[in-house]
Amino acid sequence: MTNVPELFGSLVFNQSVMKQMLPSKIYKALKLTMENGTPLDIHSANQIADAMKNWAVSKGATHYSHWFQPLSGITAEKHDSFLTPVEEGKIIMSFSGKELIKGEPDASSFPSGGKRSTFEARGYTVWDPTSYPFIKDHTLCIPTAFCSYTGEALDKKTPLLRSMEALNEQSLRILKLFGNEAKHVTTTMGPEQEYFLVDEKLYQKRKDLKMCGRTLLGAKPVKGQEMDDQYFAAIKPRVIKYMEELNNELWKLGIYAKTEHNEAAPAQHEMAPIFTTSNLAADQNQLTMEIMKKVARKHGLICLLHEKPFEGVNGSGKHNNWSVATDTGENLFSPGKTPRDNAQFLLFLTAVIKAVDDNQDLLRYSVASAGNDHRLGANEAPPAIMSIYVGDELDAILEAIKNGTTYDGTKGGKMTIGADVLPPIPKDSTDRNRTSPFAFTGNRFEFRSVGSALSISGPNTILNAILADTLKKFANELEKSDDFNNDLQKLIKREITEHWRILFNGNGYGKEWIEEAEKRGLKNYRTTPKAIEHYLDQKNIDLFEGLGIYTKEEMQSHSDIKLEKYCQVLNIEVETMKEMVYKDLIPSAFKYMNLLADTEFKIQRVSNLCDAGLNMMKKLNDLVNELSKNTELLTAIHEEIKQLPSMMEKAHGYAKKVIPQMEAVRQIADQIEPLLGQEFKPYPSYEDLLYSVQ
């Protein structure tokens, strides 16, 4: 029986361990650094580093690593041992404050959008004391930011930290106007992580899963998810064992793994943690994805985190639950018990509404990837169109504010706002809309468009930034007011009226919404290249530079990296598809046709009554010919796209020409697969993959 309280955080150098191992004066200095960014002197840093080393060695660690999140979207680490030579061929285990605070990994081989060449290799990792060090594989991992020699951010953590500080600064300006004495505001996250589990032996026989993380070919199984019997169903014994070990490994690392269940599709599951601060949540989610994959292999399984591993069944998302809170524990997205609290809540809600409407392009960009393009809008995830769901009652309240009328709702517990114009706010009466990309769920917003494989640092950097920018504009206006209460009412009414189009409580999966959204003037960037195209619009550059989150040069490099990755992913998919067609599917079809021909010949020698074999051969032959022609056409289109001069042109070419031709190839290939005899299957089928783990 696992002793969870004893196990939890046992591999984390958290505040409990710090307090135990550090002198009181040093511990207090470190807390000031963690909470306020107060610089540490080298004497304190040396004592902290030595305590970390002693603790890590006692847990079996032999190395340390500056653990960071480059722009590749995954984590990186370089291990150095604690070993230090002394006299007479002996060694001691040592770790200095200088080694703790700063590292110098090679920066030339990480994605940089062309900003770092091989002969400009220097980069720096800098300790982030707001995220706890932890032990992984006998190595003390120290969460760090990663920047270039010239100070440019080369990672996802640095912009996230900048965005959190920008939101803190602008939120405090607003809170001060309400007489709120909070000293710090932070964002919290709770990313729900969806994933698939498949048998490793079957996975190894699928080139597309190994190379691309998703199936490029595969006929629909007889039974998919249409019976709605997967969601929350009893978990299979083999999966339960996996989940038990996964929980133990996550708990050791202080990750608040809370919820686990089967998802809607066969072989699909979900893990959800408890909320924590955005920076820590981002680090922990990266660790979670890594550990999910590692533990799966120990159980003969493969954990698939691609947004759309299987055609015809639900893809996987990472529902990003985002909220804002003060150091006093006050949730700024939650209605309160006083008139001040309710007016404050309405202003922050209005700021979110304005921020999302004004920055639809940035939110779409934040979740754009080749994999997520397959998922968004596919009757399983929100469309590429951004909108906000607030629930019927809150929607009615906002409409009353917009129209200057009263609201006489009857649901939920009501609380009165100070100004007569502002109606009562019902509490805890908001439903959930699973079809909305951005849904208010009582005290937080659930950003449902995030793909399962994506680092949540990017989307949350943008969420923090657009809210900070909007609050900055509100503060600039309200700080000049001579009649705060009256001007507050006017501002809320004006902004809700101007941004009413972004509110939508209906079915986001329906075709009617796409038509309605177009009438409202909402943006619908269906593909990643289209979303990237607008990232460097001047309004976005002004927003990020005005808040000190990104420079124009950093934005350019990040845009280039995203474009290049999109093209690289699709290049790999095209080449993999061609290999599967030419090396697996067509040879299997020929072998089966040869058997049919041989069988037909033998039957014809004794009877002229059976021509089923001839019919099957003709059908297969026609399909194989069509498949071959379409694959040759795919090759020609692909070569044409690769010759285009710019990366943006290539990306649009992949989206407009290559992907449709890949779908044409697949449509034919998936007709051939079910016609082949069982022993002639070119690769494990969907039925094998989705139903083999028991």
Q: Are 31 and 24 in contact, with CB atoms under 8 Å apart?
A: no
pLDDT tens-digit map of 252-269:
999 999 999 999 899 999
Residue 422 has pLDDT above 50, yes or no: no
At 35 the pLDDT is 81
pLDDT tens-digit map of 452-500:
999 999 999 999 999 999 999 999 999 999 999 999 999 999 999 999 9
More confident residue, 529 or 101: 529
pLDDT tens-digit map of 610-625:
667 778 888 999 999 9
Q: How far apart are CA 423 and CA 408, in angstroms?
A: 8
Q: How far apart are CA 636 and CA 225, in angstroms?
A: 37
At 218 the pLDDT is 96
What number is the average pLDDT over the span 643-656?
96
Q: How far apart are CA 396 and CA 492, in angstroms?
A: 15
**Torsion angle defined by CA atoms of residues 242, 245, 248 and 254, in that order, rounded to the nearest 10 degrees:** -60
Q: Are 207 and 672 in contact, with CB atoms under 8 Å apart?
A: no
Residue 409 has pLDDT above 80, yes or no: no
User: Mean pLDDT for the chain?
Assistant: 89
The token duo for 248 is 């133990």
At 356 the pLDDT is 98
pLDDT tens-digit map of 161-179:
999 999 999 999 999 999 9
The Cα-based distances of 546 to 326, 356, 364, 390, 461 in angstroms read 24, 18, 21, 30, 14
Cβ-proximal residues to 572 (8 Å cutoff; 6+ apart), any chain: 211, 212
Q: How many CB atoms lie within 10 A of CB 69?
A: 24
418: nearest Cα among 351, 481, 484, 485: 485
Residue 413 has pLDDT above 50, yes or no: no
Which pLDDT band holds residue 203 (cuts at 50, 70, 90)? very high
Say what percent of the chain tops pLDDT 90.
Answer: 69
At 414 the pLDDT is 41
Residue 410 has pLDDT above 60, yes or no: no
More confident residue, 148 or 273: 273
At 450 the pLDDT is 95
Residue 110 has pLDDT above 70, yes or no: no
pLDDT tens-digit map of 232-250:
888 999 999 999 999 999 9
More confident residue, 689 or 89: 689
Which pLDDT band holds residue 114 (cuts at 50, 70, 90)? low
What number is the average pLDDT over the span 297-320?
95
Ramachandran area for residue 19 (φ above 0: left; ψ -120 to 50: alpha; else beta): alpha
Does an H or E element contain 324, and which?
A: strand 318-326
Q: Are 623 and 609 in contact, with CB atoms under 8 Å apart?
A: no
Q: What angle do CA 686, 287, 225 make, to 5 degrees?
A: 25
At 415 the pLDDT is 35
The token duo for 597 is 């021909």
Q: How far apart are CA 364 and CA 378, in angstroms?
A: 16
Residue 425 has pLDDT above 70, yes or no: no
Residue 18 has pLDDT above 80, yes or no: yes
At 120 the pLDDT is 54
pLDDT tens-digit map of 19-29:
999 999 999 99
What number is the average pLDDT over the span 599-614?
66
Residue 327 has pLDDT above 50, yes or no: yes
Residue 1 has pLDDT above 70, yes or no: no
pLDDT tens-digit map of 38-61:
888 899 999 999 999 999 999 999
3-state secondary structure of 317: strand
What number is the average pLDDT over the span 447-452?
94
3-state secondary structure of 466: helix
At 590 the pLDDT is 94
Q: How far apart are CA 322 and CA 309, in angstroms?
A: 26
At 247 the pLDDT is 96
pLDDT tens-digit map of 192-202:
999 999 999 99
Q: How far apart are CA 671 and CA 587, in angstroms?
A: 15
- Give φ, ψ of 450 to 5 degrees: -65, 135
pTM: 0.92
Q: What angle do CA 474, 475, 480 make, to 5 degrees?
A: 110
Based on the number of CB atoms within 10 Å of its own CB, is 612 exposed (0-12), middle (13-18) or buried (19 or more)?
Answer: exposed
What number is the average pLDDT over the span 95-120?
67
What number is the average pLDDT over the span 364-379?
88
Does an H or E element contain 426, and which?
A: strand 425-427
589: nearest Cα among 668, 686, 662: 668
- Give φ, ψ of 109 to 5 degrees: -95, 0
At 616 the pLDDT is 85
Residue 107 has pLDDT above 90, yes or no: no
